[in-house]
Amino acid sequence: MLYVLVYGQKIILRRAALIASRYWNQPLDLVNYALNTPDNRILFDKYMPVEAEIQQLADMMQHFNLTEDRDITGLVEDKYAMNADIQAVESLSDIIR
């Protein structure tokens, strides 16, 4: 099952890279590399959004002139994650039905 999950993650990252490269007007290879290096840069088993991490991303985006504003108001909403019952989640198919 781990192989299937990792394979699914790679598909998600490729799709995300395609969207981000178009939005940021950056080469697809560059965005794909940034999302995948190092291998564990993006984790799919952490269900709780962390405001400080999102703020760090926004700060970096502003630093590199990818955005004018570093305000993340409204981007992080953890109430759904806080209330999610993950006791019965053993695989991706338990989440996506």
**Helices within 1-97 (DSSP H only):** 2-24, 28-36, 51-63, 79-83, 92-95
Provide the residue-wise pLDDT of the chain in tens; the chain has 97 residues: 333 345 567 778 888 889 999 998 999 999 989 988 888 787 766 667 788 888 999 999 999 999 899 999 888 777 777 777 777 777 767 777 6
pLDDT number for residue 14: 86
- The pair of structure tokens assigned to 2 is 């781990």
Q: Domain boundaries in the chain?
A: 1-45, 47-97
For tokens 């004018």, what's the residue?
Answer: 68
Alpha-carbon gap, residue 35 to 20, rounded angstroms:
10
pTM more than 0.75? no
Per-residue DSSP letter, 39: T
